[in-house]
Amino acid sequence: MLAQVFAVIIFIAMFVFIVTEIVERHIVSLICAVLTIIFVFGVGMHSMAAVIETMNLKSIFTAEFWYLSGESGSSSAGINWETILFIFGMMVMVEGMARVGFFRWLCMRIAKLVKYQVIPLFITFMVLSTILAMFIDSITVILFLAAVTIELSQLLKFNPVPMILSEIFCANLGGSATMCGDPPNIIIGTSLGYSFTDFVTNTGVIVAVSLVAVLLYFYLIFKKELKPNVSQPIDYGSLPSPESTITDKKGFVISSIIFAVAIVLLVTHAQTGLTVSAIGTIVAIATLATSWKYAILLLKKVDYKTLLFFIGLFVVIGGLEQTGILEIMAAFIGKISGGNVMVMVAIIIWLSAIASAFVDNIPFATTMIPIIKSLSVTYGVDLSMLAWTLAMGTDIGGSATPIGASANVVGIATAAREGYVIKWGKYCKKMMPATVMVVLISMLIIYVRYL
Amino acid sequence: MEKQLIISVGREYGSGGHEIAEKLSKHYKIPLLDHNLLDEIAAEKNMDMEHWKELDEKHKNRLSSRTVRGYSSSPEENLYQMQFQYLKNRALSGDSFVIVGRCSETILKEFDSLVTIFVLGDIDKKVERIMRLYELSKNQAVKKIREKDWKRRRYHNSFCTGKWGASRNYDISINSSKLGVDGTVEMLIDYIDRRRIE
């Protein structure tokens, strides 16, 4: 009982400190992790075994961590080193691609392909944002797309805010289509043993349907705002050519190959048996080896704070799991749904979406994984269906408010730095209906397809 | 070439800090940056900054904003960053100017040419001034002073580590009620000139 009380207090305190940003979130999660080890596992449980299980270090030294010969999933208890290593590897690869100008080139190439026409640009950038976010983190996607959008808007004389908002939404949407698109999906996939293909054939299908609705929705609400200011002449000669954005031609070719290999490895990882931790390691080593001159620079650019945040977070959630708190929460959800699967799905998707709109979706998803596992065991519900429900709720819900997801924050800040203010009112007015629409579409597809 | 001079003036509401800043700007024949800072940024960026005006010198709301890898969703913080960058670039270009508030004593700390001043005042004198300037009753003036100072403190303290009005944060803190606006300006000119000789 004492351990449960400690676990809940530490968990709530962690959330409060993350939301208020009094201290940086990785420091909060690491302090809370230490407190969990001392008070939950030590004072409350007197269990060294719980500490060892939560640290989960031995998992790294098993063959299954790198190569899976059959279907199996790692335990959700404790630090998910597979997620940490994969994200690290992808971060190194993305930094390598950014260094050579890959993302700017891609944006400019597409802009040129659509002959710099605003509406086709608006549509193609939304699709580009969705596709890129399926493979790389949404922060990087928006960082480059928003910057190029502003640059083009100044040259082509249109308001970049509608385009940036649409790109943000699509980055969050694209992230939910694959296992590696959004951190909650990586954690769900590695914790429950789902592959890249599992995600694409389930959440990916939902995203494909939703994307059509999203394109139509944003086109209808933004078409007036996107009309270029025709009173000012456009100087097409001042537009940068796609080739001029490449800073290192040889590096560009190598980075593109590594990116292509990473996609192939991810798509085929269920067949090859390579785990995401192995794929992360391979792409990181390949990037560092081929750009060894810049290896230190690339390693310095990795967002270690996020990785540390994950480590601390896994320990705190481990505390809740080891003390049985999450089982109690699962039983509560089961009770209010009366064992009805449709109600259960509705609760999970809407609860995840609403919570993710206001708090970081990573701790939320991490907390929910043991809960859906418990619901699946207790009520005999298909675990994979609950996993897709959780993934869609947490990934899409974040789009609703300016603070819901990292891509939103980066997009808003990038626009602000160039003088375009996006306040809560404007943001929510356009993005909340889109969020509700996609959550509804997801729920309906889950009902029709799985029930 | 004239030696660079940057004067940062923090002020309590009703202390006459803004008027003092204006007089210092006239005396040294250097531009005054206050509310017009946004117009300057708008001119530099060649865009309309009207939407930002209501956010000027407003504090960041921690609950309704989030920071990711140094990027913030807070419009107030983004405006602060924009002003920060503008002031820093202007100082780096060698320009001299007087800047009123906007955390300038912290933002421009690294510049040797910076003189930081905080102007405070006795409450009765501040109330008298606000009543006269805005034709308010005593109670209204007291309320206005409290509100304005509370907002300035919150704005400053949400972006800077040093506290608003704390003497350690400034080169000189001066009570304008004792010497009046002109007397205070004379004293400050003497101080600034001595600093410039060093």
Segment A184-228, tens digit of pLDDT: 999 999 999 899 999 999 999 999 999 999 999 999 999 999 887
The distance of A423 to chain B (nearest Cα, Å) reads 7
Token representation of residue A89: 């590897």
Q: In the prediction, which pLDDT does B49 show?
A: 78
Shortest CA distance from A24: residue in chain B: B67
Measured between CB atoms, does A52 come within 8 Å of chain B? no
> Strand B114-120 to strand B71-72: parallel, antiparallel, or no bridges (unpaired)?
unpaired
The per-residue pLDDT for A327 is 83
Tens-place pLDDT, residues B123-151: 999 999 999 999 999 999 999 999 999 99
Distance of residue A328 Cα from the nearest chain B Cα, in angstroms: 29
Name which of B49, B51, B64 is nearest A403 (Cβ-Cβ).
B64
Average pLDDT, chain A: 91
Choose the closest CB to A20 out of B63, B68, B78. B63
A233 pLDDT band, cuts 50/70/90, is confident
Is residue A2's pLDDT more than 70? yes
The pLDDT assigned to A123 comes to 97
Give the 3-state secondary structure of residue B68. strand
User: In chain B, pLDDT over 90 holds for what percent of residues?
Assistant: 74
Residue A257 has pLDDT above 70, yes or no: yes
ipTM of this predicted structure: 0.83
B47 close to A (CB below 8 A): yes
Cβ contacts of A94 within 8 Å, gap of 6 or more: A136, A137, A140
Asked if B73 and A403 come within 8 Å (Cβ–Cβ), the reply is yes
Q: Does B75 touch chain A (CB under 8 A)?
A: yes
In degrees, to the nearest 5, what angle opens at C-alpha A269 toward C-alphas A265 and A274?
Answer: 90
b/e map A150-173, b = 16+ CB within 10 Å: bbbbebbbbbbbbbbbbbbbbbbb
pLDDT band at A76 (very low <50, low <70, confident <90, very high): low
Mean pLDDT of A126-143: 95
Residue of B nearest to A357 (CA): B64
Q: Is B37 on the interface with A (CB under 8 A)?
A: no
Q: Mind listing the pLDDT tens digit for each residue in A336-377?
A: 888 899 999 999 999 999 999 998 888 889 999 999 999 999
Per-residue CA distances from A16 to A20, A25, A250, A361, A424 (Å) = 6, 10, 47, 14, 21
pLDDT-derived band at A78, boundaries 50, 70, 90: confident
Is A423 at the interface with chain B, CB within 8 A? Answer: yes
For A306, name the nearest residue in chain B, comparing CA atoms only: B69
pLDDT, tens digit, 9 for 90 and up, residues A82-116: 889 999 999 999 999 999 999 999 999 999 999 99
Q: Which CATH number fits domain B11-197: 3.30.70.1140, 3.40.50.300, 3.30.420.40, 3.30.70.260?
A: 3.40.50.300
Q: Give the pLDDT band of residue A328 (cuts 50, 70, 90).
A: confident
Bigger pLDDT: A325 or A304?
Answer: A304
Who contacts A175 (Cβ-Cβ below 8 Å, separation ≥6)? A133, A134, A137, A138, A181, A182, A185, A395, A407
Contact B68 A406 (CB under 8 A): yes
Low-confidence stretches of chain B (pLDDT < 50) are none
**pLDDT confidence tier of residue A74, bands split at 50, 70 and 90:** low
How far is A316 from A338, CA to CA, in rounded Å?
30
Looking at the complex, report in whole angstroms how far the Cα of residue A92 sits from the nearest Cα belonging to chain B.
16
Q: What is the domain partition of chain B in residue ranges?
A: 11-197
pLDDT confidence of residue B40: 87
Count of CB atoms situated within 10 Å of the CB of B161 = 7
